[in-house]
A and B are shown apart, each in its own frame.
Chain A
Amino acid sequence: MSDPATVSALQSAAPAAGAPLLDIAGLTVLLEVHGENRAVLRDVSLTVRPGEAVGLVGESGSGKSMTARAIDRLLPRGAEVHGSIRFGGSDVNRLAGADLRRYRNQVAMIFQDPRAHTNPVRRIGDFMTEALQANLAVSAAEARRRAIDMLTQVGIDDGARRLRQYPHQMSGGMLQRVMIAAALLTKPRLLLADEPTTALDVTTQAEVMAILDGLRREFGLAMLFITHDLDLAAAICDRTAVMYAGQIVEIRASALLHDDPLHPYTAALAAARPDIAQTAPRLRAIPGRPLSAFEAPPQECAFAQRCPYATDACRADVPGLAELDGGLSRCVRAHELRGRLGGAPDE
C-alpha cells in the first residue's frame, strides 16, 4: 500500500547511520468492530535506527498505541494487517516459536499502567527474573544479582529488600521504575514505551523520564516513545512523528518541531496548549474533535475539515508523505506554509 516515492522519501529523510533497526512500511490495520471492518492504522511508515529515540505523538484515535501493539504483536484477534514491520531485517508478523520469543526479548515494552501488567500475587523479584531464567537460561542467583544491579541504576537502592516485596507495597512511580528496570534486564535492542509516565505525578514523571533517557543512552538502546504530550516527546527523542486519524502526518527533528513544524496539525496541537509562562486571552483551540482512522473521509486529507489552511487541493485526494527540510510532511501545502506555522497561524 505504500508507494515507492514515500518509502524512498522516508529513507532519505532519516539520518544516515546504516540500516534501520525497526522498519515499518505501509502498515494498515483493520479491526472488526460491531461486525464491520474498521481501519485503525492507515499506511503508517516509520523507521527507528539503532540507538535512536523516536517519539510518536497523537491524541485519541490517532493510532499511536495501536502502532506499538502492532510492533509487539499484541493486536486483538481477527485484526487484519497489511504492509510490513521489519525488525533487524526479519518480518515480525512471520515470526513463530523460538524466533518470536527471541524477538520479544529484543523488544521490551513499558506500559502505561504498571499495576495492570504485574501479577499482584507474585513478588517483584520473581517477576523481574523470570524472563532471564526462562528465555536466556541465566541461573537464579545470577538473575537476582543483575536485577538488584538494575534496580540501583533506576534509583532504587535497597534492591534486595525490594525484590521480596509485592507490587502493592510500592507507589506508582516506583513500580514504573521497576518496570523500566525489568525491561532493560533482557538487554533489548528496542524499547517500546507506551505512555509510561501519563499516570504519574508531574514531579515523578520528570524523574522517571530522566532515568529512562539516561539509561537508554548509556546502553545505546533504540526507543519508540509514545505520548500525547508533544513537549515530553521532544525532550528525550531525537526525532518525533506526529499521528492523526491513523496516519503519520509529520516526522521531524524534535528540536525543530515547535518552532518550524511541517504540518498544520502539529502547529495547532502546540498552539492549543496553555502556556505556563503567560495567560493567553483565549486559547487557540482546534474546532471539532480528533478523528479515528475509520472516521476520516477516505478521499481527502483527514485534517482538512479542521484545518485553517485547507484548500480544494486538500480535499482532492489523501496526501502522501513528502520530504521537506530533512523531515516528512503529509500536507500538500507544507512547502508554501513554511515559516507561517510556528507562531501565530492566520485564522
Chain B
Amino acid sequence: MSEASDAPVLQAAGLRKEFGKLVAVDDVSFDLPPGRSLAIVGESGSGKTTIARMIVGLERPTGGTITACGHDRSRPARSTRDRRRRGREVQIVFQDPYTSLDPRQTAEATIDEVLRLHHGWRADRRQARTAQLIDLVGLDTRQARALPRSLSGGQRQRVAIARALAAQPAILILDESVAALDVSIQAQVLNLLADIRDETHVSYILISHDLAVVRQLTDEAIVLHRGKVVERGRTARVLDHPEHPYTQRLRASVPRPGWKPRRRRQPGAGEENGVS
C-alpha cells in the first residue's frame, strides 16, 4: 500500500441505518487517513457497532456511502471474488474471544484457512507465513497447535488478530476487542496492537466505550450518541476539553484515581435504550 497520497484510506459519508422505525445510525460521516487510528466512541445504542458491521459488509446501509482503499462498498459485494477482495481491504476483530474462533480449529488451521482463501500458495509458503503471524501476535508454536478451549481469553484474541492480519488488510476494525480482557492482559494486547501498527502500518478503527483505551491507541475520535456524531476531533482534545455535554458527561463518568460518582439532578431521565 503506498502512502504517497493523503487520500483517506476509509471514508464514510452520510451513513444511515434503519431497523424498521428505529434509526440506529443517522448521518454519520468520518475519514480515516492512511496510517492513522480513529476511535468511534459511544455507549450501547449509540450505533457504533452497527457502523462497524456496515463497513465490513455484515449490515447493509440504508443510506450514505462507504469507500475503502478507493473502492465503494456501500452495497453488498456482487461475487465471492469481490467479497474476498474487500476482505483484503478491511478486517475486523470482535469483542468476545470465546465465540470469535471456531472451537474445532487450532490457531494454525484458522490462519491457514484464511491464507488459502486469499493466496494460491503452496503448503510450505503458507506454513512459513502462519509461523510469522503467530510470532507477530506473541504466541508460541505450542499455543498455535492448541484448540481455543486450551487458550486463555487474551491468547484467543491474539489468534483472532492474527487471523485478521493474514488477509493483510489496510484497515483493521477493533470492535471492543480488549473490553472482555483482564486489565493486565488488556495492557499486553494494547501494546501488541501498537507494535503491529508500527510494523505493518495498518490503520485502526477502534470501537470502544473505554475512554482510557481510546486515549492510548488512537489519534482521532468521533463521539456517537443515539446514532449521531456529537463531537469529533483529535483524541487528546476531545478527552481533555470536551465541548458537547454528552462527551463531558462521558468523561466525568470514567473511574480513575480519586474519582467519586455523583448523582445527576434528574435521576431516571435520559436512560439509554439499547439497540441489540
Contact = CB atoms under 8 A, between A and B. Distances in A.
Direct contact of A and B (CB under 8 A): yes
Interface stretch (B72-80, B101-109, B254-262): B254-262
Interface in B244-271: 249-264, 267-268, 271
Instruction: Give the one of B194, B236, B250, B255 with max A CB within 10 A.
Output: B255
Contacts of A282: 191, 194
A258 B257 contact: yes
Interface residues of B, number: 48
Given A269-B183, A290-B182, A231 B259 contact: yes
Contacts of A211: 263, 267
A236 interface: yes
B140 interface: no
A235 B267 CA distance: 20
Contact of A210 (B153, B257, B261): B261
Contacts of A79: none
Interface stretch (B19-27, B61-69, B205-213): B205-213
Contact of A235 (B155, B188, B260): B260
Contact of B209 (A174, A201, A268): A201
A265 to B, nearest CB: 9
B113 to A, nearest CB: 27
Nearest to A205: B253
A273 B183 contact: yes
Given A202-B254, A213-B261, A285 B154 contact: no
A275 B190 CA distance: 13
Interface string A263-291: 00000111011111111101111110110
Interface in A185-235: 201-207, 209-211, 213-214, 228-229, 231-232, 234-235
A283 B191 contact: yes
Contacts of B216: 274-275, 279-280, 283
Contact of B215 (A59, A235, A275): A275
A282 B195 CA distance: 10
B127 interface: no
A205 B249 CA distance: 12
A172 interface: yes
A85 B187 CA distance: 36
A231 B184 contact: no
Contact of B186 (A156, A272, A275): A272
A60 interface: yes
A209 B254 CA distance: 12
Contacts of B153: 60
Interface in A147-189: 154-157, 171-174
Contacts of A258: 257-258
A228 B191 contact: no
Interface string A293-318: 00000000000000000000000000
B236 A274 contact: no
Interface in B205-233: 209-213, 215-216
Given A172-B274, A201-B43, A204-B272, A285 B191 contact: yes
Contacts of B256: 231, 275-277
B213 to A, nearest CB: 6
Contacts of A272: 183-184, 186-187
Instruction: Give the one of B152, B211, B271 with max A CB within 10 A.
Output: B271
B194 A206 contact: no
A228 B263 CA distance: 22
Contacts of A290: 182, 184-185
Contacts of A278: 215
A155 B236 CA distance: 34
B62 to A, nearest CB: 25
A268 B183 CA distance: 10
Interface in B31-74: 43-44
A285 B44 contact: no
B211 A276 contact: yes
A273 B272 contact: no
Interface of B: 43-44, 152-155, 182-188, 190-191, 194, 209-213, 215-216, 236, 239-240, 249-264, 267-268, 271-274
28 contacts: A59-B184, A59-B185, A60-B153, A154-B267, A173-B272, A202-B209, A202-B210, A202-B250, A202-B253, A204-B272, A206-B262, A207-B263, A211-B263, A213-B261, A229-B183, A231-B257, A268-B184, A269-B183, A272-B184, A274-B190, A274-B215, A274-B216, A275-B256, A276-B239, A277-B239, A277-B256, A285-B188, A286-B188
CB-CB nearest 3 A-B residue pairs = A155-B267, A285-B187, A206-B253
